[in-house]
Structure 1
Amino acid sequence: MRLIAFSLVFIFSYLVCYAQKQLQPILEVPAKSEISIINEDGTSVLPSGRTLTPAGELIRITHDPFGLAISPDGKKAISLHNGVFTVIHTSDLDATRVPSYDRSIVSPLSDGSFLGVAFDPDNKTIYLSGGDNGAVIVYDVEQMIRIDSISLNGVVDGKNFEDSFTSDLVYQNNELLVLDRGNFRMVRYDLHKKKITASIPVGRQPFGLAISPDHKKAFVANVGMYSYSLIEGLTEENYNEMLISRHPYADNSKESIEGTIIDGKTIPGVGDPLSPDAMSVFTIDLTTNTVINKYKTGSQIGEMVEDAEVVGGASPNSIAVGEQYLYVTNATNDNIAVIDHKIGEIVKHIPVEIDQRIDRYRGSLPFGITLSKDEKTLYVALLGMNAVAVIDIKSEKTLGLIPTGWGPTRVRLSEDEKEMYVISCRGLGAGPNGGEGFVAPPQGTYIGDIQLGSFQKIAIPNSSQLASYTKQTIDNTFREVMADPTDPNPLPIYPGAKESPIKHIVYITKENRTFDEVFGQMEGVNGDKSLARFGINAEHTLPDSLRSGIEIMKVTPNHHKAAKQFALSDNFYCDSDASIHGHHWMVGVIPNEWVESNSSVDKTAKLFSPAPGRRFPGSTGSMDPEDYAEIGGLWEAMERKGLEFYNFGEANETAHVRETWSDTLTGAAHGVMVPMQKALFSRTSTNYAGYNMNIPDQFRMNQFEEEFTKMWLKGEEEMPSLITVQIPNDHTASPRPEDGYFSSASFVADNDLAVGRILHFLSRTTYWKDMLVIITEDDPQGGVDHIDAHRSILMMAGPYVKRGQISHTHANFGSILKTIYNILGVPYVNQYDVTASLLQDFFTSIPDYTPYTVEPHDPRVFNADKAMQRYNKWVDWKSIMQGPEMDDVDIIKKEFKNN
């Protein structure tokens, strides 16, 4: 008996050890089981699933502060927002907003503002970048009055400068040094003589500015990649006739460098991305007003970083200066360039270290930077990490991390260096913007407005406190958990853990809706039915003239049916506020400092202006060359893995495109020549309309079905591993009754029918047996939600998706990308991918091949035939219900059962 008992114990112990040996660590966000929430006195949960426990004292201020200055006496701080600045008394953190919400204090900033703020030595006079109006505003913060407005426009040395755009600025010795991103220059203005004394050309989109301690040199960080050109011969008069229907070329290609011909039109190139003017740091000799050095900091395009080619510029953005060395934050590379400005050489790069488990990935995004007086320590605001890094210059080591609000942008030290001041662009997050008990704040309920920024005062920590802060920062970012790589779940625990039965993924992106608006009334979810204006009983969304006698209206019957047949999350959040951010996040590119600040400022495009910076892309639905991540995102990751992909509609929209009902080839017509990502250019449909609210989603579905059938059903090509599809009309627009859009609900109903059609179509193809369909929104900006204004829609469909599942796992775009990467065996790209929640609760190992059958739309809400009439087309229900011509549903079901 003892022998038997011993044997049983041995076998049991062996099995336990064996099972434990099979488990492997993976990283996930700390709030995987929680909802997003703001807790001003404790731990807040962000849309990403990361948490916040800001150090020191924190106050919430107006959203998106990107400029910060401390008065010479240390008593006041000024944070600069778009068209707003905040005066903060550093002793008690008492804050005054200018303008005040009650308008008793008026704003001196008429056309926004951008980055630049500086104090005069008198401690009361401040200088503010006027941004779009090309001015510097002079303001007295004691009397709260505007003193002067200094225009950068005008004639300097015989050259007339127009359409200036004020960026960063610095005060020194009764003069201002001011960057003009409109004209790619630095301006010197004598405050005593009240005149511009010099205009010095610099690189593209000058962003950061600093002066040497001896005041003899100025340093400029340029974040622009190209000076964008127009189609040759394009004028205001022939504009509409000259536009082309697509991006002209792939980035960093022969055509983009040298130019090309499209439709008989001469398309100028944008030049070499390695140009000295592109993403560079300039040194200006202030005694001669000449540029004496140009530095290309960080990793350069075309270089290899850990077996991956660099495709994005370094994005050098902010500068700290010592007696001998210059320190520049390279946001894309997560490092600090060290330049010996006396000998004029880059001497090294210091990496920003977070944790060895994620340091190989990018995503901390160093932004604001400050140097200690003894020049031994750097303090760096990490936009992507919600922390300030403390870096020892001699050892090149990150000594620790100090937790901040969401998205820190600037850090400054007090005069005695006993305290630091930090501003964060998103503070503690947005929180709810509707529902029972919600009280609208004075700034309104739009997501970007309620997402207040933050100002922190933090005592400089000793080594023990810094170690504690560092641990807290890591705990706020991710947790290590053990998982079984042999788990039968179709979603592997990491790329390459095992082969998934899912071989094809269709990634569908919609526009602008929150969860409650569509699903708030659905049973079993954490919803607020009072906010479900786009649900299935939403008669209140019609104008009164059309509502008479109508009791039940179906706005989103396909969303509800698909959610019940397949799987839905009620705890998914967009990391983005608006499309500018959303179309970056959703393809695995974390918005850098340029995207964040440029998207949050009033700006006017002037395509025919002599100021080259006025033709900047602007950051919208396309990924501009200024925005690229070091080794790219989803597209580049797929290409490196050797997997094919194809794109319907994403990345066609730059900031200056025309979008009319007839621009159906890509949804846009281009006049400013902006490259597209090289990996994506040849894999994007030129006969599918991307974002354009003048084109029905039903038209898009016709385009999609025709091209899909031609290439992958009737053609010889196999369906790619990944297809991306943009279906944007739930963005909504102004009603067009003549086109069948009676109200905002009409656009959502159009979109709902498109979602139903694409699921109906895909589930009747031979690829359905190993397909996953992911449906989400790029951003939530148009809607309201009782949990958080970022909460949005995530649905999954396919044979391996669990039927009737409502997932409560905290999810974001990183979770979606982790799902795609893990299934297809594609290595992660950034820190948000590797630390995202693993969404295995969406899946089952037992497939159900039942296809989806589309639900008809409600013609009282949306008239599909009217929407299509200008194209002489209509919704062919017989053809739609039949599905792809080559497939017989009964045969397919039989094949599925055999498989």
Structure 2
Amino acid sequence: MKAKLILSALALLSTGSFTYAQQQVNVLQVPGVNQYAKIDTAGTSVLPSGRYITPAGKTIRITHDPFGLSISPDGKKAVTLHNGVFTLIDIATMNATRVPGYGKKIISPLPNGSFLGVAFSPDSKMLYLSGGDNGAVIVFDTDKFIKTDSLSLNGAIGGKDYDDSFTSDLVLNADKNELLVLDRGNFRMVRVNLGTKKLTASIDVGRQPFGLALSPDKKIAFVANVGMYSYPLIAGATPKNADSIMISRHPYGDNTKESREGTIVEGRKIPGVGSPSSPEAMSVFTIDLATNTVISKFKTGHQVGQMLEDAEVTGGASPNSIAVGNQYAYVTNATNDNITIIDYKNHKLLGDIPIKVDSRIDKFRGLLPFGICLSKDEKTLYVALLGFNAVAVIDVPTKTTKGLIPTGWGTSRVKLSADESELYITSCRGYGAGPNGGFGFVAPPQGTYIGDIQLGTFQKVPMPDQDQLAVYTRQVLANTFVSTSVPAATNNPLPVLPGTSATPIKYIVYITKENRTYDEVFGQLKNANGDSTLARFGVHCEYTLPDALRVQFPNLNVSPNHIKVANQFAFADNYYCDSDASIHGHHWMMGVIPNEWVEANSNVSKTAKLFSKAPGRRFPGSTGSMDPEDYAETGGLWEALERKHVDFYNFGEANETAHVREDWEDTATGAAHIVMVPMQKALFTRTSHNYAGFNTNIPDQFRVEQFKTEFTKMWIRGKKKMPSLITMQVPNDHGADIRPKDGYPYRQSYMADNDLAVGRMLDFLSHTKYWKNMLVIITEDDPQGGVDHLDAHRSILMLAGPYVKKGYVSHTHANFGSILKTIYNILDVPYVNQYDVTGSLLQDFFTNKPDFTPYTFINSDTRIFDTKKAMARYSKNTNWRKIKKSIEMDDEDREREDHYKQQKGKKTSGTIVN
């Protein structure tokens, strides 16, 4: 058996670009494996991912998430576009002006948000800004600092009346004194005459048009479409009957007969979404501007259903940005880590340029090419790598990567100066967030919410010569991973790589929660790096309350089970969510790196209009689940397990889309669906339709009962054994508005509900016959609800089981990549992406001397959460529809507002009270 395992390991390692000699293997980990996250703008910053940041050239910090970038024709100014904000930068001095300013002396010209598109006028004095949700282009005078005009895309043109436009990318065509503008609401490109301020043409393009470019001769426009489907409503749905016609779950798995052709679910007729091979799906359109007609539709990158080695492509290429030369156009395919070459004059695809960075990780995806620009001689491409914190320098003639330039976290755009002596680069998250509370913390002007405190960066980098580029390249790789030679065979229950050694762990239960930071739950724990003044959800935490409430709650215990589990088993004080919010978190947790569409779409103000004629207003904007726009090339955790024929089952994850209802009555799954969005095909038949996902109206105690009932029926009394992996969501630590009548008199009540549920589930699992071979992983999807003295991304990670050390505190860096590496290594499943393969190896959590002692839960403090009161509603004849709706899971504006509301009246830094 051992020989078979070693042979299996050899085969895996040879295909994974690892080396093997004398039973030694190379294990890749992040360089910050033994360091805490920190920001050091003058040296080396350690990100929550464990990677380093050392930006080249000169760097300034600007507002978070700069997804638009333009350089003025005179070369003196740069402008970066954020959601509802733009930053004007003097390139020579690197001084930046934020509009609006934090002092609100400069009024925002973008009160409804903005999205991607920004351009300078030829005289460098005017800005044209995408108005995003308001469907307009905003004109702004940079000398007077005032908005001078608003050009709406709505209205009649070509015999058709357009409404509900949503402005996306835009390009100035100075020769015609016009703007070319993408409308993601109506899936079209619009031409706007700047002299008459009239729309002169409307050309239908593909779904969710995202990137726009113009040929040097100004005759051809290029549109990159990142949308996979146009999502339909249930057949016959109207505003009046929508509430009664919804179904309780996703209607079908993606790319199945049902999803292509339609089906019947719960008696409702469900339209299909068609084929992912449709020309309108994830494609590049070319438009002849002389005739206003689409002349070519290119499907770039790898296609869904294609086989890559031993894996089927499940995600579209996500073509997003375009650089155009005199004959060839170059398109970044984020999902595939490559660039497609289009001979647009001969209407041909000429193949792809794979972006290669290092042979040890090139097999795995995770670069996520986004912004792109082309040198004047058309021999060099500069590509912003969103997932790799670098700009790739690509030699076009040889189709090779010449080198890498280090940037900030989440590189979004790159531009060349007119004389090509400098590069200008933006990054979404810059140096990271840093602390947002605790002793000595002073709130910065932008605030303390994670989405505000985390600033982006703008870089000015002198063009490197060959020697300097080589130095930069070595730095980028050193910032990303280190390699260590270790014995392949080990007696640690966690193998060093998938298949390298046997493990007694046969079953993993992966419990995911919502929105908490480390300090607010574990800040009091000894022998760990915590701040007890922030432990508002700990035990004996009445001191975090204001004086008016403190006397009412002596010895307040909000999370006794979290504290007990941490002390009885093991927890980490150096664990971070890679995510800022739920839309990112539920991708990361399930092994999918959020692509440029997820990142940009999650950070834009947008209004859903489900019954609009504009199909893009039923925008895919996932929260607790991934939409087809978001899928990775060969999937994530689900698909990796399916390929390896490893059994899994899901409770609660991935049953929420952007437009679900989450009322009290939706107890089967926590949601009711009106817009028809497919679920991942691998997951669709392996997920419970009788377990409530995110819905804070439903007590976590209800979920415990659902889980225990289904688990007992299938794997204790049933004939089948427990699957190798169970994923489970218990979300109520997210918090919501107080509901005293329902047993939630304080915000702490939701955490207490969640704490009891975690304790009860672990109690149940540890008393089953599977416990002796079980590992339970407990973590959060994101940290956006809380505060932390070390870093706003730091969160909760607990491991429990017989082979987990008892009373152990891990100081090893950990993130979602580490969790997934743990799962893959134990279940002998090959890695999927670069974060898996370079994640920290968490062997320090484990012991080969098992302790089979089960866990016994602690009841909640009934002063803040009474289980009987919370569950009483389920025995009453209640008019469910009159009950207040649950808050939306990933409404970042709501989370931001709630974050600041909870800071008012606090007794100590970070305390939240009602």
Q: TM range, normalised to the smaller chain?
A: over 0.9
Correspondences of 1:58-73 after superposition (within 5 Å):
58-73=59-74
Code of the residue aligned with 2:142 in structure 1: it is: V
Partner residue, 2:238? 235
In the TM superposition, residue 540 of structure 1 has moved relative to its aligned partner by 5.2
SS in 1 for 2:274: coil
Which shifted more, 549-558 or 97-106? Answer: 549-558
Q: Distance in 1 between matches of 2:366 and 2:510?
A: 23
In the TM superposition, residue 396 of structure 1 has moved relative to its aligned partner by 0.5
Does structure 2 retain, via aligned residues, the 8 Å contact 1:447–1:789? yes
Does structure 2 retain, via aligned residues, the 8 Å contact 1:542–1:742? no
SS in 2 for 1:332: helix
In the TM superposition, residue 116 of structure 1 has moved relative to its aligned partner by 0.1
Structure 1 residues 825 and 155: CA distance shift in structure 2, 3 A? same
Code of the residue aligned with 1:596 in structure 2: it is: E
The TM-score normalised by the length of structure 2 is: 0.93
Partner residue, 2:187? 184
Partner residue, 1:557? 560
Correspondences of 1:575-590 after superposition (within 5 Å):
575-590=578-593
Partner residue, 1:412? 415
Q: Distance in 2 between matches of 1:120 and 1:194?
A: 15
Does structure 2 retain, via aligned residues, the 8 Å contact 1:749–1:861? yes
Partner residue, 1:224? 227
Alpha-carbon RMSD across the aligned residues, in angstroms, is 1.0
Deviations 1:290-349 (A, max 9, x none): 001000000000000121000000000000000000000000000000000010011010
Q: Distance in 1 between matches of 2:192 and 2:301?
A: 32
Partner residue, 2:83? 82
SS in 1 for 2:336: coil
Deviations 1:681-703 (A, max 9, x none): 00000000000010000000000
Q: Distance in 2 between matches of 1:48 and 1:293?
A: 41
Deviations 1:521-555 (A, max 9, x none): 11111000000000001225678776544311110
Runs of 4+ deviating beyond 4 Å: 540-547
Partner residue, 1:423? 426
Partner residue, 1:25? 26
Q: Distance in 2 between matches of 1:26 and 1:328?
A: 34
Code of the residue aligned with 2:295 in structure 1: it is: I
SS in 2 for 1:760: helix
Deviations 1:66-99 (A, max 9, x none): 0000000100000000000000011010100000
Code of the residue aligned with 2:442 in structure 1: it is: V
Partner residue, 1:435? 438
Q: Distance in 2 between matches of 1:647 and 1:568?
A: 24
Partner residue, 2:495? 492
**Are positions 1:703 and 2:721 aligned together?**
no
In the TM superposition, residue 499 of structure 1 has moved relative to its aligned partner by 1.8
Q: Distance in 2 between matches of 1:100 and 1:444?
A: 13
SS in 1 for 2:630: coil
Does structure 2 retain, via aligned residues, the 8 Å contact 1:598–1:619? no
Partner residue, 1:125? 126
Q: Distance in 1 between matches of 2:320 and 2:206?
A: 12
Partner residue, 2:5? none
Partner residue, 2:44? 43
Q: Distance in 1 between matches of 2:24 and 2:244?
A: 62
Structure 2: gaps spanning 5 or more residues = 1-19, 877-914
Q: Distance in 2 between matches of 1:307 and 1:74?
A: 49
Select 1:256's aligned residue among 251, 255, 259: 259
**Are positions 1:92 and 2:60 aligned together?**
no
Does structure 2 retain, via aligned residues, the 8 Å contact 1:588–1:817? yes
Q: Distance in 1 between matches of 2:771 and 2:323?
A: 56
Partner residue, 2:203? 200
Select 2:721's aligned residue among 718, 722, 730: 718
Correspondences of 1:412-491 after superposition (within 5 Å):
412-491=415-494
**Are positions 1:377 and 2:380 aligned together?**
yes
Partner residue, 1:618? 621
Deviations 1:547-569 (A, max 9, x none): 54431111000001111110000
Select 2:689's aligned residue among 686, 690, 705: 686
In the TM superposition, residue 848 of structure 1 has moved relative to its aligned partner by 0.5
**Are positions 1:213 and 2:212 aligned together?**
no
**Are positions 1:386 and 2:389 aligned together?**
yes
Partner residue, 1:767? 770
In the TM superposition, residue 620 of structure 1 has moved relative to its aligned partner by 1.2
In the TM superposition, residue 854 of structure 1 has moved relative to its aligned partner by 0.6
Partner residue, 1:110? 111
Select 2:846's aligned residue among 839, 843, 846: 843
Q: Distance in 2 between matches of 1:442 and 1:422?
A: 24
Does structure 1 retain, via aligned residues, the 8 Å contact 2:120–2:126? yes
Does structure 2 retain, via aligned residues, the 8 Å contact 1:390–1:400? yes
Does structure 2 retain, via aligned residues, the 8 Å contact 1:541–1:745? no
Q: Distance in 1 between matches of 2:738 and 2:168?
A: 38
Select 1:356's aligned residue among 356, 359, 364: 359
Code of the residue aligned with 2:426 in structure 1: it is: I
Partner residue, 2:886? none
**Are positions 1:572 and 2:580 aligned together?**
no
Q: Distance in 2 between matches of 1:53 and 1:667?
A: 44
Partner residue, 2:885? none
Select 1:276's aligned residue among 264, 279, 295: 279
Partner residue, 2:247? 244
Code of the residue aligned with 2:29 in structure 1: it is: E
Q: Distance in 2 between matches of 1:135 and 1:269?
A: 32
Does structure 2 retain, via aligned residues, the 8 Å contact 1:773–1:797? yes
Q: Distance in 2 between matches of 1:32 and 1:550?
A: 40
SS in 2 for 1:766: coil
Does structure 1 retain, via aligned residues, the 8 Å contact 2:403–2:472? yes
Q: Distance in 2 between matches of 1:312 and 1:67?
A: 25
Does structure 1 retain, via aligned residues, the 8 Å contact 2:507–2:724? yes
SS in 1 for 2:476: helix
SS in 1 for 2:201: strand
Q: Distance in 2 between matches of 1:159 and 1:545?
A: 62
Q: Distance in 2 between matches of 1:499 and 1:682?
A: 30
Q: Distance in 1 between matches of 2:820 and 2:458?
A: 32
Q: Distance in 2 between matches of 1:599 and 1:415?
A: 33
Does structure 2 retain, via aligned residues, the 8 Å contact 1:202–1:282? yes
Correspondences of 1:670-685 after superposition (within 5 Å):
670-685=673-688
In the TM superposition, residue 667 of structure 1 has moved relative to its aligned partner by 0.4
Partner residue, 2:535? 532
Q: Distance in 2 between matches of 1:334 and 1:617?
A: 23
Q: Distance in 1 between matches of 2:239 and 2:604?
A: 26
**Are positions 1:822 and 2:818 aligned together?**
no
Does structure 2 retain, via aligned residues, the 8 Å contact 1:516–1:527? yes
Code of the residue aligned with 1:65 in structure 2: it is: P
**Are positions 1:746 and 2:746 aligned together?**
no
Does structure 2 retain, via aligned residues, the 8 Å contact 1:542–1:861? no
Q: Distance in 1 between matches of 2:746 and 2:727?
A: 28
Code of the residue aligned with 2:873 in structure 1: it is: R
Structure 1 residues 670 and 543: CA distance shift in structure 2, 3 A? farther
Deviations 1:744-802 (A, max 9, x none): 11000000000100110000000000000000000000000000000000000000001
Partner residue, 2:893? none
Structure 1 residues 495 and 20: CA distance shift in structure 2, 3 A? closer
Partner residue, 2:54? 53
Matched length: 855
Partner residue, 2:887? none
Partner residue, 2:8? none
In the TM superposition, residue 414 of structure 1 has moved relative to its aligned partner by 0.3
Q: Distance in 2 between matches of 1:243 and 1:547?
A: 45
In the TM superposition, residue 484 of structure 1 has moved relative to its aligned partner by 1.5
Does structure 2 retain, via aligned residues, the 8 Å contact 1:30–1:49? yes
Partner residue, 1:13? none
In the TM superposition, residue 265 of structure 1 has moved relative to its aligned partner by 1.1
Does structure 2 retain, via aligned residues, the 8 Å contact 1:182–1:613? yes
Q: Distance in 1 between matches of 2:121 and 2:829?
A: 53
Does structure 2 retain, via aligned residues, the 8 Å contact 1:28–1:838? yes
Code of the residue aligned with 2:52 in structure 1: it is: T
Deviations 1:591-621 (A, max 9, x none): 0000000000000000000000000121211
In the TM superposition, residue 103 of structure 1 has moved relative to its aligned partner by 1.0
Q: Distance in 1 between matches of 2:369 and 2:552?
A: 59
